[in-house]
Structure 1
Amino acid sequence: MDNAPVSCLPTNQRMSKAKKVIDEAREIQNPELDLCDKGIASFDEMPGLFNMLNITRLTLTHNKLKSVPPGLANLSNLEILNLFNNSLEELPTSLSSLPKLRILNLGMNRLFSLPRGFGAFPALEVLDLTYNNLDENSLPGNFYMLETLRALYLGDNDFEYLQPEIKQLKNLQILVLRDNDLIELPKEIGELTRLRELHVQANRLTLLPPEIGNLDFSGDKSELKLHLNEWVTPIQDQLQTGIPRLMDYIRSETYRYLYNRQVALKNPPPPKIDKTKKISRVKA
């Protein structure tokens, strides 16, 4: 007999830990189910979960889930779903049929794409896709139909471009795109008149579209994060004097002339970071 190593937490024990939490929640009809850091690798370890139709909040953070079964869409009263820090490689199309889902956290996973029809969520307000492997080709055709969205977190992904359809997210107040590979921003971003936070630090940007001058970042709760990019010298100089001065410059005819001249050159800086060793790309 060889002494092959055995898991210190067999499946039946993992199941019993999750099952205990589920049974207790069912007994007292608790609408909030917290299964954080239970070592769960499969929804099979959570028997009866899909029958708990009263659940409004489901927390499955810091587990080992690789996929989500279509049956999760049975939880028709779900308002908050947190799947942060798992090993998710795919999502079911049915997820977007959850009628009351307002907050969806899929950050720190291994997603290379989103399922067809993902933009069909009827009530989604906050979508966190931070630290995955997404780019402009990963988004389904209807992604920008998420008109109820107030906050979109796409930091630590692989975007080089953002589609012009971003303008359809009329209610967007927070847009986070830090630590991508963005070469440029579309002029349509200037149509997001409710935007109060824009985070584009640590990309490959050299210019901002003049249309960003249509936005207002002057309020106490406003943020425009621009550092760690390859800005042309005039932007870099204005940035050192503060965001208000920069925005005035962006709105000037002088800048519009500079922008058109530089865009014609089409000379983006090379990538600065090798992302092949990202945790989200290393097979679990």
Structure 2
Amino acid sequence: MSKVRKIIDEAKESKNPELDLVDKGISSFDEIPSLLTMLNLTRITLTHNRISVVTPALANLTNLEILNLFNNQIEELPTSLSSMPKLRILNLGMNKLSALPRGFGAFPVLEVLDLTYNNLNENSLPGNFFMIETLRALYLGDNDFENIPPEIGHLKNLQILVLRDNDLVQLPKEIGELARLRELHIQGNRLSVLPPELGNLDLTSNKSVIRMENNPWVAPIADQLQVGISHVVDYLRSETYKFVYGRHVSANAPAPPRLSERTKKSSKPKP
């Protein structure tokens, strides 16, 4: 830990607001107690370590804007994290989260939240999760979601939504209320239809991205996808599709089966 101590001491001495502790073998915040006194910090990078518990005292760093904890072994988070007044970017990707703390959606200015590669599902989310009105990008790929709650429609500023490689069997029509959405990743799920309301969004312009391959689509969507994404979006807007969608929903057909072995988890790099 002498190297870590040296990095922290140098940052203190120079009053550097950005602290980089990538791949330093850190397993606990107890090993770096002086970090919690550095109130001038605006960015902390602790990626590729072995941290399992995030200390509630981290919230005392009230100037922190960017917190990157990607690729650790975090299983739970303190509620205090969501009270951080300036936190704009929070990366918790590639950890072991199976639930988020109560009140997690209280972040006042959070813009980017990355929860990729965890063990989350729709039951893991606290009631106020979709109340982060400032959120511009939400990454939920490589988790275990079967459904996305309709409250997602509250994220009016969302521009990027990544749901790839989950177990999604349907999307809520409220996604069609995300007027600013320009990037939607839903590839690698169990989706067979899409809500017609998705056609309300501008997802076919030059600056837009929609990825939807590797799903068991009904034949009409699969046929349009062969031609191109813009054809899919046009089809979603048609009266013909609204009829197809209504018939599919009313038939209440069983969801497509899960893949027998989820490659997403087996391909996850080891911390």
Say yes or no: TM over 0.5. Answer: yes
What is the rounded CA distance, in whole Å, between the counterparts of 2:230 and 2:30 in structure 1? 54
What is the rounded CA distance, in whole Å, between the counterparts of 2:20 and 2:264 in structure 1? 31
Amino acid aligned to 1:243: I
Matching residue of 2:47: 61
Matching residue of 1:185: 171
Which TM-score applies when normalising by structure 2? 0.96
Amino acid aligned to 2:17: P
Structure 2: runs of 5+ lacking an equivalent: none
Is 2:260 aligned against 1:268? no
Structure 1: runs of 5+ lacking an equivalent: 1-14
Is 2:92 aligned against 1:101? no
What is the rounded CA distance, in whole Å, between the counterparts of 2:4 and 2:149 in structure 1? 41
Question: How many residue pairs end up in the alignment?
Answer: 270
1:27-67 superposed Cα distances (whole Å, 9 cap, x missing partner):
00000000000000011111211110000000000000001
What is the rounded CA distance, in whole Å, between the counterparts of 2:90 and 2:29 in structure 1? 18
Residue 245 of structure 1, CA deviation: 1.4
Report the 3-state secondary structure (helix = DSSP H, G, I; strand = E; otherwise coil) of the residue aligned with 2:124: coil
**Aligned mate of 1:77, from 53, 63, 80:** 63
**Aligned mate of 1:48, from 34, 37, 42:** 34
Residue 172 of structure 1, CA deviation: 0.1
**Aligned mate of 1:234, from 202, 220, 225:** 220
What is the rounded CA distance, in whole Å, between the counterparts of 1:279 and 1:57 in structure 2? 31
Matching residue of 2:122: 136
1:65-104 superposed Cα distances (whole Å, 9 cap, x missing partner):
0010100001000000000000000100000011000000
**Larger deviation, residues 96-105 vs 214-223:** 214-223
What is the rounded CA distance, in whole Å, between the counterparts of 2:202 and 2:161 in structure 1? 14
Residue 264 of structure 1, CA deviation: 1.7
Is 2:78 aligned against 1:92? yes
Matching residue of 1:114: 100
Matching residue of 1:202: 188
What is the rounded CA distance, in whole Å, between the counterparts of 1:48 and 1:67 in structure 2? 17
Larger Cα Rg: Structure 1 or Structure 2? 1
Matching residue of 1:166: 152
Matching residue of 1:29: 15
Matching residue of 2:265: 278
1:200-249 superposed Cα distances (whole Å, 9 cap, x missing partner):
00000000000001001122221010000000000000111111111111
The answer as to whether partners of 1:108 and 1:280 remain within 8 angstroms in 2 is no
Matching residue of 1:224: 210
The answer as to whether partners of 1:109 and 1:280 remain within 8 angstroms in 2 is no
Runs of 4+ in 1 over 2 A off after TM superposition: 273-281
Q: Would the alpha carbon gap of residues 71 and 134 (structure 1) be closer, same or farther in structure 2, given more than 3 Å must change?
A: same
Amino acid aligned to 1:20: K
Which TM-score applies when normalising by structure 1? 0.92
Amino acid aligned to 1:271: R
The percentage of counterpart residues that share the same residue type is 70
What is the rounded CA distance, in whole Å, between the counterparts of 2:47 and 2:262 in structure 1? 24
What is the rounded CA distance, in whole Å, between the counterparts of 2:120 and 2:77 in structure 1? 13
Residue 191 of structure 1, CA deviation: 0.2
Matching residue of 1:153: 139
What is the rounded CA distance, in whole Å, between the counterparts of 1:157 and 1:248 in structure 2? 30
